């Protein structure tokens, strides 16, 4: 079994460069299905979710060529397969974007029920409601290997109001609607940076999408989309993870290749805690300085521009290193505290206050000295939190199930080592 072996005790210092955004890449790669000529995708992170998405596209008939470490040429004009039942589909949440892209281009798709990190129920009703309002019929077969089917003779623009803000549904409906006849309006749309990135990509291809990044997105259908060269945005959550790691170890470092605006919900909390932040807008970098004491705060996750749910586990560790008692409330997912028992192995003082489902919250008593532990990653971001926790101890720790972490963190060992961490991958 592969594990990370980490010897903690040193503040993280130096600099780290942020890779392309996972959540953009896994939507933009299937979006190439909508183009009538090849696309060049730049700033693509080398992570297993991205590799899996490329493999799925290749099995569907596309040609994928790696031009350099972060650049790929994707020719999806040769995609013929619309029955997408490959094993990679069931392991990844983002495979639901194949539904929107195939529906938009081929007017039919049968896709294995997507998998991914488990935080309780992960419904797709809003995606299906959106497809229906564009004129498509859908069905979901039951059982272990459930398949989602969508098809239509033609797509016609529609109006979709989302009672819950959903990133996945907003992006999937955009994919299905770009080539529909007439205009589609998505109300209460998600405003995450990757929603805007997908809209920018599609607009460069010739789409007509207005309002991405606001809660009303208007899509006027076009007949054709052409291939483009496009560079995806830096990863907001990867940047936030390294900022939090540097702060939790009382280090100081420069986080490079970021878009400062995307990080506001994260660094504003660091500032509230008394951690020094300075932004260099000319160089697209941010400096975190946590060499002095910092104090606890309250954090509630929410859709963008609220505090991201994907930063919640990493902030638990940061609060454990702060002075005072911090509170974490999770308001996006029903059950995203499964990892807490793993962090408690380090001696972290975390109490789950049970109320009911989404109203549960964590009380984190800071300032306790942590000890080395054998932890098991329970999902991608919880795995990142365990790395940070291990770095905050004075001892040796191991983390297993590292495949979760490799789904979303590019060159994770190399980047932490560049910051002075003692971390290695071992075969146990």
DSSP assignment of 112-142 equals EPP----SS----HHHHHHHHHTT-EEEE--
Cβ neighbors of 125 (< 8 A, separation 6 or more) are none
Q: Compute CA 361 distance to the chain's CA centroid, rounded to the nearest angstrom.
A: 22
Minimum CB–partner distance for residue 400 and ligand UD1 (Å): 21
Strand partners, 139: 149
Minimum CB–partner distance for residue 82 and ligand UD1 (Å): 22
Cα separation, 245 vs 225, whole angstroms: 41
Cα separation, 58 vs 187, whole angstroms: 34
**Residue written as tokens 């974490």?**
328
Residue nearer to ligand UD1 on the CB measure, 194 or 256: 194
Minimum CB–partner distance for residue 231 and ligand UD1 (Å): 20
Cα separation, 412 vs 428, whole angstroms: 19
Cα separation, 205 vs 201, whole angstroms: 6
Residue nearer to ligand UD1 on the CB measure, 126 or 209: 126
117 is catalytic: yes
Cα separation, 230 vs 197, whole angstroms: 10
Cα separation, 48 vs 40, whole angstroms: 19
DSSP assignment of 152-180 equals -S--B--EEE-SS--HHHHHHHHHHHTTS
Residue nearer to ligand UD1 on the CB measure, 56 or 173: 173
Give, as one character, the DSSP assignment of residue 416: H
* Inter-axis angle of helices 260-272 and 236-248, nearest 10: 30
Cα separation, 197 vs 80, whole angstroms: 27
Minimum CB–partner distance for residue 121 and ligand UD1 (Å): 6
Instruction: Choose the catalytic residue: 39, 117, 297, 392.
Output: 117
Terminal alpha carbon distance of the chain: 5
Q: Which residues bind ligand UD1 (CB under 6 A)?
A: 23, 93, 122-127, 164-169, 190, 192, 303, 308-310, 332-333
User: Collapsing DSSP states into helix, strand and coil, what is residue 359?
Assistant: helix
Minimum CB–partner distance for residue 166 and ligand UD1 (Å): 3
Minimum CB–partner distance for residue 175 and ligand UD1 (Å): 13
Minimum CB–partner distance for residue 138 and ligand UD1 (Å): 12
Give, as one character, the DSSP assignment of residue 107: S
Q: Is the bond leading into 369 cis (omega within 30 degrees of zero)?
A: no
Strands 325-329 and 298-300 come out as: parallel
Active site residues: 117
């Amino acid at each position: 079994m592969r594990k990370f072996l980490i010897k903690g005790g040193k503040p993280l210092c130096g600099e780290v460069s942020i890779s392309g955004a996972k959540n953009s890449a896994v939507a933009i790669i299937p979006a190439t299905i909508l183009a009538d000529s090849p696309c060049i995708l730049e700033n693509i992170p080398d992570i297993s979710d991205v590799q899996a998405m490329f493999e799925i596209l290749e099995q569907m008939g596309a040609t994928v060529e790696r031009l350099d470490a972060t650049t790929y040429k994707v020719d999806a004009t040769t995609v013929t397969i619309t029955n997408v039942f490959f094993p990679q589909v069931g392991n990844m949440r983002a495979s639901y974007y194949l539904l929107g892209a195939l529906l938009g281009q081929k007017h039919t798709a049968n896709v294995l029920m997507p998998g991914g990190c488990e935080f309780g129920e992960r419904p797709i009703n809003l995606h299906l409601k959106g497809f229906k309002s564009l004129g498509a019929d859908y069905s979901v077969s039951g059982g272990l290997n459930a398949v989602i089917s969508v098809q239509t003779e033609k797509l016609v623009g529609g109006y979709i109001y989302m009672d819950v803000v959903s990133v996945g549904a907003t992006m999937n409906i955009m994919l299905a609607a770009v080539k529909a006849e007439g205009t589609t309006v998505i109300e209460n749309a998600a405003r995450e940076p990757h929603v805007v990135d997908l809209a920018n990509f599609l607009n460069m291809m010739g789409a007509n999408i207005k309002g991405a990044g606001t809660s009303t997105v208007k899509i006027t259908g076009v007949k054709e989309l052409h291939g483009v060269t496009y560079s995806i945005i830096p990863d907001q959550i990867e940047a936030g993870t390294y900022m939090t790691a540097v702060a939790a170890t009382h280090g100081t470092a420069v986080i490079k290749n970021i878009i400062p605006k995307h990080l506001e919900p994260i660094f504003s909390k660091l500032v509230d805690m008394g951690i020094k932040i300075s932004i260099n807008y000319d160089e697209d970098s941010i400096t975190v300085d946590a060499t002095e004491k910092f104090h606890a705060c309250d954090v509630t996750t929410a859709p963008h521009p609220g505090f991201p749910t994907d930063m919640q586990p990493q902030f638990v560790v940061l609060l454990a290193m702060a002075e005072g008692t911090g509170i974490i409330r999770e308001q996006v997912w029903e059950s995203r505290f499964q990892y807490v028992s793993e962090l408690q192995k380090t001696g972290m003082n975390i109490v789950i206050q049970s109320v009911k489902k989404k109203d549960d919250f964590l009380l984190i008593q800071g300032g306790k000295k942590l000890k080395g532990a054998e932890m098991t990653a329970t999902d991608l971001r919880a795995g990142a939190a365990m790395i940070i926790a291990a770095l905050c101890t004075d001892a040796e720790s191991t983390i297993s199930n590292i495949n979760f972490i490799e789904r979303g963190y590019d060159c994770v060992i190399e980047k932490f080592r560049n910051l002075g961490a003692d971390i290695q991958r071992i075969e146990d």
